[in-house]
Amino acid sequence: MNSLPEHNERKNIFVIFLTFLFVYVVLFEFILPVNKILPKPTLLYESYISLWFDYNLLFAAAVTTTVVYFALIIGYLFITFFSMGIVKLMIEAPGLFNAPRIFRYFSPFFFALLFVYWFDDSFLAEMVFGFLIAFYAFGLALYKSIPAIKIEYVDFAKSLGAGKNKIYSHIVWKSCQPSLFGEMKKLHYSLWLFILTYEFIAQTAVGGIYRTALQYNDLAAIFALGIMVCILILFGNFVIGFLKKKIIYWE
């Protein structure tokens, strides 16, 4: 059940949203129907129909969401599956994991350009690009969460006779899970950004539609697409939040 402050916060957001919607409709439908700032609401509605048929929105959205969520899920599963080995390496050879931190200073835009240059508009390459970002982010989150593991958990397990492997799998991995899910929430936003950028460069899927709409100066399409992506991110965020509550029930 939601707490009262949480409920009030949601109510406030809803009221603000309705206010903005009202102002938008009044301002751009009746007062400023022709402008270069925001499209007319009725035009926006028509634009969805055009996006659906002319830009093949359904297929594009399917590709983009598949890449984003596939990367997120596979990245997480990959870390989970190899958790014991990765955690062991992180504790016993931390130097190995310091080296890839250099990638923090590279913009993902650079890698997107490289990937598009190497693989053109390949769907598989886009998947690999998304997976690598997710794996790197999860790996880094895991690495950062290790020093925060409560030493009393490890000491008590050792005292109860747990061996190294049992400690890694039953305590270290479990202790790292809240930060991994925290990372998943952050990564969800950034993956959408990176994948849309990748597609914008490669001119495929939703990012590709953005580019085409920009080339045709189709403000209504850009705006309509923005709303659609926003709804998809909102829905994804809700699902991740729900999963976090179910899986990390002790937080």
Partner 1 sequence: MSSENILVVEKLFKEYSDNVGYRINLLRGITFKVKKGDVTTIIAPTGSGKSSLLKIISGLEKPTNGDIAFADNTKHIYIPSKPSSYPWLNVRENIVFLLSPIDNDKFVKIIKLVGLDGYEDHFPHNKSVGFRFRISLASALIRSPQLLILDEPFNEMDSITKSEIYLLIKEVNEKLGITFILGTTNISEAIFLSDKVFLMKKNPGEIIDEVDIELEKKRTIDVMDTEKFVETRRKIESIFKSHKTQKLFTFSI
Site residues (CB under 8 A) for partner 1? Answer: 150-153, 155-162, 166, 170-171, 174, 249-251
User: Distance between the two ends of the chain, CA-based, in angstroms?
Assistant: 15
Measured from the CB atom, is 152 or 217 closer to partner 1?
152
Q: How far is the CB of 83 from partner 1 (least distance, A)?
A: 15
Measured from the CB atom, is 105 or 250 closer to partner 1?
250
Measured from the CB atom, is 135 or 153 closer to partner 1?
153
Q: How far is the CB of 232 from partner 1 (least distance, A)?
A: 31
Q: How far is the CB of 43 from partner 1 (least distance, A)?
A: 52
Q: How far is the CB of 174 from partner 1 (least distance, A)?
A: 5
Q: How far is the CB of 58 from partner 1 (least distance, A)?
A: 41
DSSP letter string, 108-142: HHHHHHHHHHHHTT-HHHHHHHHHHHHHHHHHHHH
In angstroms, the CA 210 to CA 55 distance is 10
Q: 210 and 221 in contact (C-beta within 8 Å)? A: no
Measured from the CB atom, is 64 or 83 closer to partner 1?
83
Q: How far is the CB of 96 from partner 1 (least distance, A)?
A: 25
Measured from the CB atom, is 6 or 155 closer to partner 1?
155
Measured from the CB atom, is 88 or 158 closer to partner 1?
158
Q: Around Cβ 181, how many Cβ atoms within 10 Å? A: 19
In angstroms, the CA 150 to CA 201 distance is 45
DSSP letter string, 42-100: HHHHHHHHHHHHHS-HHHHHHHHHHHHHHHHHHHHHHHHHTHHHHHHHHHH-HHHHHGG
Q: 175 and 141 in contact (C-beta within 8 Å)? A: no
